Structure 1
């Protein structure tokens, strides 16, 4: 199994084009991971709403109180 250092050293030996491709792939993977986390949070919020665990208000004092809970 390759270690992180092995990977870093391997990347150092790549051409500029290959390094740019790796950079592009990493950016894509990070976007996908963030998108997955956002979707998971959305699903959790939907579940909480369906269970009646979410509280909504347009009154500032009530919102402050909800934040403090």
Structure 2
């Protein structure tokens, strides 16, 4: 699937039974604008929930990686506050 580059009017491709459907981002936006207010609210809620779930999964993955690094001794934090500030 092509990468998303909204500024360049990306084409989204989805394979469906030996056929390929392509959608430009602007076409998708136009379709969204043509939805009823109820459909737009539902789409907004779906996207917000999806974004929250994606973020939670990212946090869980990063937590698991950090725990593994900690257990293997690869995770180190300096005791000097100035050194810690430089890292951040």
Q: TM-score, normalised by structure 1?
A: 0.80
Structure 2 gaps of 5+ residues are 1-21
**Higher helix residue share:** 1
What RMSD, in angstroms, separates the aligned Cα atoms of the two structures? 1.9
Aligned ranges 1:47-66 → 2 under 5 Å? 47-56=68-77, 62-66=80-84
Q: TM-score, normalised by structure 2?
A: 0.64
**Higher strand residue share:** 2
Number of residue pairs the alignment of both structures matches: 66
TM-superposed deviation, 1:67:
4.9
Q: Provide the rounded CA distance (Å) in 1 between the counterparts of 2:39 and 2:74.
A: 49
